[in-house]
Structure 1
Amino acid sequence: MPDIIGIIHRKRDGHELSGAEIDWVIEAFTHGVVDDAQMSALAMAIWFRGMSRAEIARWTTAMTDSGRRLDFTGLGLRTVDKHSTGGVGDKITLPLAPLVAACGAAVPQLSGRGLGHTGGTLDKLESIPGWRADLTTTEMAEILTDPDVGAVVCAAGADLAPADRKLYALRDVTGTVESIPLIASSIMSKKIAEGAGALVLDVKVGTGAFMTELGEARELARIMVELGTDADLPTTALITRMDTPLGRTAGNALEVREAVEVLAGGGPADVVELTLALAREMLAAAGIDDVDPAERLRDGSAMDRWRSMIAAQGGDPDAVLPVASHTETVCADADGVLAELDALAVGKAAWRLGAGREHQGQVVQPGAGVELHAVVGDTVRQGQPVATLHTDTPGRFHAAAAALRGGIRIADTAPAPRPLIVERITP
């Protein structure tokens, strides 16, 4: 029988773990035979030594098989999901899920809560009064088959890839989050277990993403596409830029408002562009090629799906969203062009205002966050508002403003524009 100390030593020394060793360690960790300290040591060894393609595939399968798998094939629907690796202002799921449903595909999306500077989709939706994230499988199926809804965004059950749930909690507190093998296997084990018919990945690259370099993002995207293909889950990926925030808001209720603007036919150009690009990828993956998602934004049907989707999960689509009780303005300190608005700085500012959490289980402020009044390339004057900070606890303003100012650079000329969508990765 394998032993955890020997497995740690082997990976620490740069050896490839066997399939039997990987199967054993994931099962033993899931059932408490391998303790948290030992698994943390193995995660750090993986962080330093990496994993082969075969190891990543076996690790992913073992985590998928640590719990149950959902199966929507009996519903007679063309199901497709999307996953983002996380960014600042990334509210794309909110308009995307109802939009794709309005085009004829069913969207079963299991999402998470934010930690640190990246926001969580569930936190955003939970700012809507009454909306609930925890659904049973039966409830999910009922919503997906409802002809007026067809999309569900909810939390993963405790029995879905439980090994990943336990391991992710350790990675977050042991400095091992930014490991391509561990990121890829974490995402794909949950997505394979989720049971959708196809998957589209949005892999972020830039200062506000886990992958700051294009080469790393490309490697992560390619591995995840291959893992999906291996598991008979057709998967494609878009690599998209995350050097500046998406849209003009970072924060929970603030981002919901902006998502509703997109569904109403408006909203920031970059949010609309990425929403439509991912919608087209998802529809192609679902085999739907006769519907233009842009038309579904224009004719109001995506908004109708949004309202139905929120109501189906207990929310009130007409409710007034939470508003923070205190605001403070950050102004330009010189005349010129806004040459840089760093996504990480904005994300840290929103986090310090209370929009994010420092540890699992911490309550977030639904109204907290950053509202941007200028974007990169805009001409600004000294004293002109660049951003408004929102929070219920004004003692947070100083640290948040300092973080934000560190990411603002004003210059004489505008930087050259760069495309939002960098690459498309296919099997």
Structure 2
Amino acid sequence: MIEIKSANGAPLEREDLFGRAFEWADHIPILERSVAPPPPPTPPVIVTPPVVVTPPVVVTPPVEMTPPVVSLTLKGGNGADLLTGAGKNDTLAGGGGNDTIWGHAGNDSLQGDAGNDTIFGGDGNDLAFGGDGNDSMEGGNGVDTFYGDDGDDIIFGGAGDDGLWGDVGDDTLYGGAGNDTLGGYIGDDVFFGGDGNDVVWGNKGEDRGWGGWGDDTLGGGEGRDIMYGEGGNDLVWGGGGDDTLYGGIGDDTVGGFVDNDVAYGNEGNDSVWGNVGNDRLYGNEGNDLLGGGLGHDTLNGGAGSDTLMGGEGNDYFWGGDGEDTFHFFFGQQARDIIGDFNISEDLIRIQGGPSSFKSLKLSQNEGDVHVHLKNGTIVIKDVDVSDLGSEHFWMG
């Protein structure tokens, strides 16, 4: 298209170009002031691509690997430490201070060292040393071996066949269930065997021991000890010192060993021995055997059909209820006394002498009968010589 302007730049009218008679329809079109710009191009249609949905990525978590539990070896310092095992065969030592040590499961080695320590073995066969100080120790299940060491210690064995040793100090030991061994060493110790066939040994000091239920063996050792067998067929020995011993329920053997002891068989068919010293022996209930040994002893059979043997020394016999037998040796050098001879049921046995009653020499001395032996005399209290015959004597 063509745009025509005047010389001065003003727009032209149609009449200025061709006159009024010119018909525009027959000629080229003339623009009125300017030619209009072309319409803008149609923008292209933008095709949006379809959304591609990406499936979520499944992330597989890594397999969790449990690290293996290994045995621990720990040692505390000089403070109040808390040491805990890993449930394996651990070695834990408290060091100085009042420590608390837990072994947990496993066969642990535990040591309190100096200080008033608390030690728990837990399950397993544990070995523990309290060290110096007043320690508290407990074994738990398993066959444990505990040493209190120096100090006044308290030790509990728990279940299992445990070995508990107090060492130096006034210790208290509890065996618990199982066939336990308890030993005191030096000090005035207290023992409780608990259930099971236990062995208790007091050693030095004035000790007290209770066997509990089971066939127990109790020995006082040196010192003035008190020992109770309690339930079961027990063996109870005093050792050195003036001891007091009790058999308890069951067929027990109770012996004083040396010094001046007091021994009781209690229930059951018991054997009670004084051994060396001026002893007092009591059978109590049951058919008991009592032997005085060396020394001036007192023997009391109690209820039941008992056998009483004095041994060397001037002994006193009291049979108690039942058909009792009083045992002597013809050559003994002693003056023995029978305090309650019952002519209806009791018997006197004399060994090592004449084979018949007729060979014995008997005499009346006021209200008593004297039976003359080779080197000694038997005094039968409150009996008339005319009431005695061969039925009352067992010769040989």
TM range, normalised to the smaller chain?
Answer: under 0.3
Q: Pick the structure with greater CA Rg.
A: 2
Give the TM-score normalised by the residue count of structure 2: 0.23
Give the TM-score normalised by the residue count of structure 1: 0.22
